[in-house]
Structure 1
Amino acid sequence: MKNFKIREIHVRWVGIFLVGFLVMFTEQEGTQAAALPFWTHYFISVGFTAIYWNGAYLIFMRFRKVFPEISQTYKRIILTYMALFFWMSVGGIPFKMVLGLVEYTWSGVLLACSEYFLLNIILAIIIGTIYETVFFFEKWKESIQQNEELKNQQIRTQFEVLQNQMSPHFLFNSLNTLTTLIAENQQVAIDFTQKLSEVYRYILQNKERDLVHLHEELDFARSYLYLLKMRFPDNLTATFNVDKKYENLSIAPLTIQ
């Protein structure tokens, strides 16, 4: 019981029985439903409430999946409410026909659609507003958590960069490699020197930045990998497989390294 948390499914099914009870009192005198025995009337009311509410839940989940971003909130809300209004108007009609509460005629269907139209709209607005409010705050909380994680990653990255700058091992190893290349192949030594300057220029230019474009980070990683391959030509292999459409996204500097 210590780990028990109130979840949406708990609220939904408790709410179904409560709303089902309240809906009974909205039945107009003289209708077939109002003339039923209390418990029969109650369970039918709960059944229809369950049908409507669970259908509405599926609508919410569908549009959240299609339009998950905060920037898509207006589009998601408009389409969700349109689908909700339609569902609340016609969703239960087939079941009412099965129970004999609606005539198998067009006039019977139209009457059933309009009979509780105002109540259905009110319930759709109330339930929709609750779901959208909860979803908005969940996304807002996720956004805050992501920002905090990004800040923490940035601090760790800056610390690692500082460590790398303070430690001369990489530079000394690179210079030793360069000395060997100068004696063996001057053109390769020139290329190596250019890559080494690119690596340290990137580190110095971006150590204070929060984010860089992914294509910049990939270029740096390739230059860094080039230097390492000069030291370990046969013992180090790496491949880059990044779709072009992602290269303008942002990433914390030096994370690929």
Structure 2
Amino acid sequence: MVTKQTPALVANGAEPINDRWLQIIGIPLAVIPFVVFYLEEYGYDWRLFAQTFSWGLVSTAIIWQLLRWWVMKVRAWYAGREQFRQRVLTTFLGYALFTIPFQPVETWVVSHLDLTGLITPAEFPRVYLIHIGMALLFAFLVGAIYESMYYLQKNREAITEAEALKKATLQSQYDNLKNQVNPHFLFNSLNSLSSLITEDKKQAGAFLDELASVYRYLLQEGDRELTPLRSEVEFIRSYLFLIQTRFGSAISFTIDVNERFLDDMLPPLTLQTLVENAIRYNMILPEKPLLLTIRTVDSGQLLVTNPIQLKPLRVTAIPIGLGTLTDRFRRLGLPALEINDDGKEFRVLVPLLRR
């Protein structure tokens, strides 16, 4: 007497749902058709009922666990919602391979180890074929129910993930818009420009040119998914020129980018986010200057570092801008940022996408 249990798993194919009640209800239901068959075939006797029902509970519980193991194996191989066909075909093929050899053995054992003396040797092939058919039918019926449950679970997970990605996209778009019209940055830049106009008109002209370059990049590249590292480096040089004009000797930067990586791609405004976070969370003083370093490494990644000299205020474990940037890389299907804080230096390793 064969049935099955098909635990629905979470997205990584590792955790089964709670199916205790299904087993409690399903195992007796799987046994009843066989008990009825024996009673109609050999006579209605309470001893026959007790024997076949007891034997059925034990054998069905055992094969249930075997098929449960098989289902979990198949779902580990074909966990994706889009792998529905491969998963169903492989799972049900396993049901057949387990059921067809097992059921005739059980039928033979029940008829030859009869304690009631009521069961005669099973008629071959009629009884054997009937038992195999009933076992396969129930296994496939319950299997279809559980596969439906698993598919619905996957569908709910896909909807949840889509909502999360949609939220991250909206947040990214909002942050990009803030970057384009950041009133604080613009206000500080205009203040610096105003001071330069009266003090050094030549420097004021250079400052205005770099300010125009920054906002041109923000308007042109802010909505793109990827941009060449070459463009990003040119932008961050202009951006840091404005920052350095404002802070003077209290801040400095080093950019060392190997030319062979300049055509590699990354999300626009990545460097601006990292620089802005360094400025937001660290003290910038003439007696304690902040040094920003941007360089490529041989593995084809961009390394951005700064010394840790935190301002005396409470901050989140991961800066807000970095959290949004991390979500942006995930949404684009890029390798994750590698963030390291050893208490002395803050390091972010940015993956670059080869063209």
1:29 aligns with 2:41: yes
1:74 aligns with 2:85: yes
Which 5+ residue runs of structure 1 have no aligned equivalent? 1-5, 103-107, 207-211, 249-257
Of residues 125, 139, 155 in structure 1, which corresponds to 2:140? 125
AA partner of residue 21 (structure 1): I
AA partner of residue 349 (structure 2): F
AA partner of residue 134 (structure 1): M
Identity %: 18
Task: Confirm or deny: 8 A CA contact 1:199 1:224 kept in the other structure.
Answer: no
Deviation at 1:145, TM superposition (A): 1.9
Q: 1:59 to 1:44 in 2, by over 3 A?
A: same
Report the equivalent of 1:40: 51
The alignment's C-alpha RMSD in Å is 4.6
Task: Confirm or deny: 8 A CA contact 2:96 2:136 kept in the other structure.
Answer: yes
Q: 1:41 to 1:170 in 2, by over 3 A?
A: same
1:166 aligns with 2:181: yes
- Higher share in strand: 2
Which 5+ residue runs of structure 2 have no aligned equivalent? 1-16, 114-121, 197-201, 228-263, 285-289, 292-305, 309-345
Paired residue secondary structure (1:238) = strand
Please give the alpha-carbon distance, in whole angstroms, between the structure 2 residues aligned to 1:163 and 1:136.
Answer: 40
Deviation at 1:74, TM superposition (A): 0.7
Equivalent residue pairs, number: 218
Please give the alpha-carbon distance, in whole angstroms, between the structure 2 residues aligned to 1:64 and 1:70.
Answer: 10
Within 5 Å, give how 1:204-219 maps onto structure 2.
205-206=223-224, 212=225, 216-218=265-267
Please give the alpha-carbon distance, in whole angstroms, between the structure 2 residues aligned to 1:97 and 1:172.
Answer: 89
Please give the alpha-carbon distance, in whole angstroms, between the structure 2 residues aligned to 1:156 and 1:91.
Answer: 57
Task: Confirm or deny: 8 A CA contact 1:192 1:227 kept in the other structure.
Answer: no
Please give the alpha-carbon distance, in whole angstroms, between the structure 1 residues aligned to 2:93 and 2:106.
Answer: 22
Give CA-to-partner distance per residue, 1:129-150, whole Å, 9 cap, x none: 1111111111112222222222
Paired residue secondary structure (1:53) = helix
Please give the alpha-carbon distance, in whole angstroms, between the structure 1 residues aligned to 2:226 and 2:131.
Answer: 55
Deviation at 1:46, TM superposition (A): 0.9
Deviation at 1:23, TM superposition (A): 2.5
Report the equivalent of 1:152: 167
Report the equivalent of 1:209: none
AA partner of residue 183 (structure 2): P
TM-score (norm 1): 0.63
Within 5 Å, give how 1:210-229 maps onto structure 2.
212=225, 216-218=265-267, 220-222=269-271, 224-225=273-274
Paired residue secondary structure (1:154) = helix
Please give the alpha-carbon distance, in whole angstroms, between the structure 1 residues aligned to 2:64 and 2:53.
Answer: 16
Q: 1:192 to 1:56 in 2, by over 3 A?
A: farther
Report the equivalent of 2:347: 238
TM-score (norm 2): 0.48
Please give the alpha-carbon distance, in whole angstroms, between the structure 2 residues aligned to 1:113 and 1:225.
Answer: 72
Paired residue secondary structure (1:240) = strand
Please give the alpha-carbon distance, in whole angstroms, between the structure 2 residues aligned to 1:221 and 1:69.
Answer: 32
AA partner of residue 238 (structure 1): R
Please give the alpha-carbon distance, in whole angstroms, between the structure 1 residues aligned to 2:272 and 2:179.
Answer: 16
Give CA-to-partner distance per residue, 1:34-69, whole Å, 9 cap, x none: 996432321111112212222222222221121011
Of residues 220, 239, 256 in structure 2, which corresponds to 1:201? 220
AA partner of residue 121 (structure 1): L
- Higher share in helix: 1
